[in-house]
Amino acid sequence: MKIVVTGANGFLAQHLCIYLANKGFDCFAVSRGERRIPIATHIEYTSLDLTHQSLVHAYIHTIQPDVIVHVAAMSKPDECHVNRDACLLQNVTATAYLLDAAEKCASHFIYLSTDFIFGEGGPHAEEDLPDPLNFYGESKLMAEKLVQDYAGPYTIVRPVFIYGKQWEGMRPSFIQWVQQQLQAGKPIKVVSDQLRTPTYAPDICKGIHRIIEAQKTGVYHLAGKDILSPHRMALMVARVLGLNQSLIEEVDSRSFPEPVRRSSKSGLKINKALRELNYQPHSFEEALRKSFAV
């Protein structure tokens, strides 16, 4: 089975390409820049900017993929807030180009969305009403709507606050940022009044694998099972790694103003994935130990 994964240099997509290649799929990885994903036998990498429609069409036409997992995005809410046109281009227009190309091959289209399409009052279930609080969330919701108009089979996957192991060529996730600051003896301020269901990247990979194998369509929340604040997560990183917890200052979001509005109680319910995909996410502590190999 041929699977195209977009955004392959990014945090989640690097995990996903390696996971799928190890499962024996023919993995075709595309991302805008030069290859940063480690060399692995069954991953064919192509530099491709998804905002160039003719290049997207030519690439998909050549590969004729059975499945496209569209992970690429402008994924930082602050960047989307200040660069709205670029955000629309990367997150919405590029998705439209891919869908159009995918339709001609009748590929199964799997779109990586986000909990940021929802507002307050989480954790949310798949069918809850969207109410994005910032432009990033709005752009991802616009892309979801395009995916819902796709004529072929489609699946929308929504993870939350992704973390996991990091290797060379990959950006750090929150847990590596905490590790690096504390190891350098630097104090950090972390909010305790925002709740999330952080998601271990390999759990998302397993969930997507089940979706591909069982040809599941519709919307699935693939998130973690623990509801935690970033402050609590940072304390757990320090404890698991034996680092100085007193460097972690607890703050609330009012004393730590950010340009972008974020939900205080976000996170996603995973009952549907547990039931229909036999999804079994790790606890945050188990996943931390695996991420840091401790």
Ligand X SMILES: NC(=O)c1ccc[n+]([C@@H]2O[C@H](COP(=O)([O-])OP(=O)(O)OC[C@H]3O[C@@H](n4cnc5c(N)ncnc54)[C@H](OP(=O)(O)O)[C@@H]3O)[C@@H](O)[C@H]2O)c1
DSSP state of 261: -
Residue 175: CB minimum distance to ligand X, A? 11
Please pick, from the candidates 3, 4, 5, 12, the single residue that binds ligand X as defined by CB under 6 A. Answer: 12
Output the six-digit token pair for 224. 């973690």
Choose among 101, 209, 211: nearest CA to 154: 211
169 versus 187: smaller Cβ distance to ligand X: 169
- Most distant CA pair in the chain: distance in Å? 57
Among 18, 50, 60, 234, binds ligand X (CB under 6 A): 50
Could you say which of 26, 49, 66, 131 contacts ligand X (CB under 6 A)?
A: 49
Encoded one letter per residue, x for contact with ligand X by CB under 6 A and - for no contact, window 100-139 reads ------------x-x-------------------------
Q: Report the 10 Å Cβ neighbour count for 88.
A: 18
Determine if 10 is a binding residue for ligand X (CB under 6 A): yes
Cis check: omega of the bond before 123, within 30 degrees of 0: yes
CA gap 199, 207 in Å, rounded:
11
**What is the spatial distance between Cα 252 and Cα 145, in angstroms, rounded to a whole number?**
34
Does position 162 bind ligand X by CB under 6 A? yes
Q: Closer to ligand X at the Cβ: 161 or 220?
A: 161
> Residue 94 CB, nearest distance to ligand X (Å)?
5
Report the residue from 4, 9, 228, 263 that binds ligand X according to the rule CB under 6 A: 9
Site for ligand X in 180-239 (CB under 6 A): none
Nearest residue to 64 (alpha-carbon basis) of 17, 15, 2: 2
| Binder among 20, 29, 60, 71 for ligand X (CB under 6 A) | 71
Q: What is the DSSP letter of 32?
A: S
- Do residues 97 and 56 touch, judged by C-beta distance below 8 A? yes
Residues that bind ligand X (CB under 6 A): 6-7, 9-12, 31-33, 49-51, 71-73, 75, 90, 94, 112, 114, 140, 159-162, 171
